[in-house]
């Protein structure tokens, strides 16, 4: 009797399970039968990183993007800053000029790093230089980000961005013109944006300049004290004493934009008073005049490239160099340095068009001679020289020049494969 009762209970249980499971999907049944798989992540070779000394207190991650896949070039100098600000640095080593899948790379590497280091609820910032700066900007426009630093590039005419943005360029870098705005421009009072400039070429800036920019984008969205603004105002006064009117204005602009509470209106008035000073106004009138003349030179340059011979260009480039070397008029000197940089960009563009069948092929020898004078160690110069040599049936010279391009830092393998057959590439 007891055995029959046991059989009845078991039968009822089995029927109940069967009835219940009929209402479940196969996927739900499988989940109950199989234990959840715990993801085991290994360290990635796609990126490099630095964690602050107290890695349990990480508050932010800063993405670093370099156009030549060398983020450590700047990252290694930011370790102390990262320690002091509880900041993780993430260098993306597969970002480089010429790629189109940078959005996928950034999402993959950032996502893996966040899971690998078990980071959550941290802010994400990004910085990039030159072509990588444009990639960082386009990534920031499509994804959640808390701040951006653009070095040696413009903002593609975007006047307002939804996150704190710092622009950096050397005053001898052509990209300075993409970032420049006068004190009269409304951008001077746009509190989410700052342009920080220094006397330099097209390169990553000195670390103190980069740290100022990082201070701005990190703290702008969460300002808790007036200390940072006080520091920038002190710098402004020091620059003014040394008659460095440009940097005095930029430092005071940063001080105003980082102010809080009652000090915000006080510093806005001080900033307005500074840019109204007679010597400061005269400086900017002079700067704007040189920039206007600079754009006129740019307009004439295309016509000169078509019609003027190489000797004329040798003389013209020597003239640019003499003006750029002036110690008496630094505004003019920087302007002519940018003119020469613009010529390099124009020559690159013309050569790129010519080898692609969209430009004047017959002018390539002249373009190459001009490029050699401007930038004799530029990897693009050797690449173009290699492509031209190959079209002239000189494979040995082409191999030599492409190898030199690689030695000087040319990394665009996609471009090499586009212009040369596989048999040629295998010989490199």
Q: Are 101 and 33 in contact (CB under 8 A)?
A: no
pLDDT given for residue 95 in this prediction: 95
Query: Model pTM?
Result: 0.84
Residues 17-23 have a mean pLDDT of 46
CATH of domain 47-222: 3.40.50.1820
- The CA distance from 345 to 323, in Å, is 19
| Domain 302-425 class, CATH top level | mainly alpha
Q: What angle do CA 181, 183, 189 make, to 5 degrees?
A: 90
Q: Which of 118, 125, 127, 110 is nearest to 60 (CA)?
A: 125
**Model pLDDT, residue 178:** 93
In the chain, what percentage of residues exceed pLDDT 90? Answer: 78
Judged against a pLDDT cut of 70, whether residue 28 lies above it is answered with: no
Tell me the C-alpha distance between 261 and 241, whole Å.
Answer: 28
Determine the pLDDT at residue 40: 55
Closest CA to 191 of 272, 265, 256: 256
Q: Which residues contact 166 (CB under 8 A, 6 or more apart)?
A: 147, 148, 149, 150, 193, 194, 195, 196, 213, 214, 216, 217
What confidence category does residue 31 fall into, taking pLDDT thresholds of 50, 70 and 90? Answer: very low
Q: How far apart are CA 426 and CA 320, in angstroms?
A: 42
pLDDT attached to residue 54 = 85
What is the pLDDT averaged over residues 358-366?
Answer: 93
pLDDT for 32 beyond 70: no
Q: Name the pLDDT band for 158 (thresholds 50, 70, 90).
A: low
Whether residue 39 is predicted with pLDDT greater than 80 in this model: the reply is no
Query: In whole angstroms, what is the distance from residue 3 CA to residue 208 CA?
Result: 86
Residue 34: predicted pLDDT: 45
**What pLDDT band is residue 98 in, cutting at 50, 70 and 90?**
confident
Give the three-state DSSP class for 148: strand
pLDDT tens digit string along 165-205?
A: 999 999 999 999 999 999 999 999 999 999 999 999 999 99
Work out whether strand 87-92 and strand 47-50 pair parallel, antiparallel, or are unpaired. Answer: antiparallel
pLDDT at 19 over 90: no
Asked if the model's pLDDT at residue 288 lies above 70, the reply is yes
47-222 and 302-425: identical CATH topology? no
- The whole-number average pLDDT for the span 361-386 is 96
For 65-111, give the DSSP string: E-TBS-THHHHGGGHHHHHHTTEEEEEETT-BTT-S-HHHHHHHHHH
Query: What is the 8-class DSSP label of residue 152?
Result: S
CB atoms within 10 A of CB 366: 18
pLDDT score recorded for residue 223 = 80
Confidence of residue 56 (pLDDT cuts 50, 70, 90): confident
Where are the extended beta strands (E) located within 95-192?
123-129, 147-151, 165-170
Between these two residues, 123 and 12, which has the higher pLDDT value?
A: 123
Pairing of strands 87-92, 147-151: unpaired
Which pLDDT value is given to residue 13? Answer: 47
Dihedral class, residue 144 (left if φ above 0, else alpha if ψ from -120 to 50, else beta): beta
Q: Average pLDDT, stretch 273-282?
A: 96
Res. 346 pLDDT band, cuts 50 70 90:
very high
SS3 call for 47: strand
Sheet with 123-129, strands from edge to edge, namely: 47-50, 87-92, 60-65, 123-129, 147-151, 165-170, 193-198
User: Looking at the predicted structure, is the pLDDT value of residue 103 above 60?
Assistant: yes
Higher pLDDT, 45 or 246: 246
Q: What confidence score (pLDDT) does residue 406 get?
A: 94
Q: Give the chain's length.
A: 428
Per-residue confidence at 14, pLDDT binned at 50, 70, 90? very low
Tell me what pLDDT residue 41 has.
Answer: 61
Judged by phi (left if over 0) then psi (alpha if -120 to 50, else beta), residue 413 lies in: alpha
pLDDT at 413: 87
Q: Cα(138)–Cα(155) distance, rounded to whole angstroms?
A: 9
Domains in the chain: boundaries: 47-222, 302-425
For residue 80, give the nearest of 193, 211, 189 by alpha carbon: 211
Q: What is the model's pLDDT at position 367?
A: 97
- What distance in Å separates the CA atoms of residue 362 and residue 58, rounded to the nearest whole number? 58
Q: What is the mean pLDDT of residues 221-229?
A: 84
Q: Which residues of 321-333 are buried (b: 16+ CB within 10 A; e: fewer)?
A: eebbeeeeeeebb
Average pLDDT, the chain: 89
């Amino acid at each position: 009797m007891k055995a029959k009762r046991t059989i009845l209970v078991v039968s009822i249980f089995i029927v109940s399970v069967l009835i219940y499971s009929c209402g479940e999907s196969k996927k739900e049944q499988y989940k109950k039968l199989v234990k959840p798989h715990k993801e085991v992540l290994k360290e990635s070779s796609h990126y490099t990183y630095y964690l602050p000394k107290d890695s349990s207190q990480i508050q932010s991650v800063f993405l670093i993007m370099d156009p030549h896949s060398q983020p450590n070039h700047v990252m290694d100098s930011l370790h102390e800053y990262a320690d002091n600000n509880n900041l993780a640095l993430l260098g993306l080593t597969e970002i480089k000029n010429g790629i189109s899948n940078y959005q996928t790379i950034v999402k993959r590497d950032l996502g893996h790093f966040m899971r690998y280091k078990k980071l959550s609820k941290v802010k994400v910032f990004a910085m990039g230089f030159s072509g990588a700066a444009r990639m960082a900007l386009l990534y920031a426009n499509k994804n959640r980000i808390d701040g951006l630093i653009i070095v040696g590039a413009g903002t593609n005419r975007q006047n307002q961005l939804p996150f704190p943005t710092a622009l950096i360029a050397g005053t001898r870098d052509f990209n300075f013109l993409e970032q420049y705005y006068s004190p009269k421009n409304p951008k001077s009072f746009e509190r989410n944006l700052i342009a920080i400039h220094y006397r330099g070429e097209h390169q990553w800036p000195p670390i103190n300049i980069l740290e100022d920019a990082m201070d701005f984008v990190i703290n702008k969205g969460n300002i808790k004290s007036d200390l940072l603004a006080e520091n920038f105002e002190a710098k402004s006064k020091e620059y003014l004493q040394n008659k460095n009117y440009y940097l005095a204005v930029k430092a005071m602009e940063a001080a105003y934009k980082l102010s809080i509470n009652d000090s915000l209106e006080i510093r806005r008035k001080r900033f307005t008073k500074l840019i109204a000073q007679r010597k400061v106004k005269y400086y900017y009138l002079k700067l704007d005049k040189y920039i206007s003349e600079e754009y006129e030179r740019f307009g004439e340059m295309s016509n000169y490239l078509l019609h003027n011979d190489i000797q004329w260009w040798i003389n013209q480039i020597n003239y640019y160099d003499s003006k750029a070397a002036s110690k008496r008029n630094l505004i003019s000197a920087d302007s002519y340095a940018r003119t020469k940089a613009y010529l390099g960009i124009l020559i690159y563009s013309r050569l790129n068009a010519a080898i692609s069948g969209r430009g004047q092929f017959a002018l390539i020898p002249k373009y190459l001679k001009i490029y050699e004078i401007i930038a004799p160690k530029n990897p693009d110069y050797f690449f173009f020289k290699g492509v031209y040599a190959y079209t002239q049936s000189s494979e040995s010279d082409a191999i030599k020049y492409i190898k030199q391009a690689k030695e000087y830092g040319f990394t665009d393998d996609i471009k090499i494969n586009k212009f040369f057959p596989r048999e040629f590439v295998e010989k490199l």
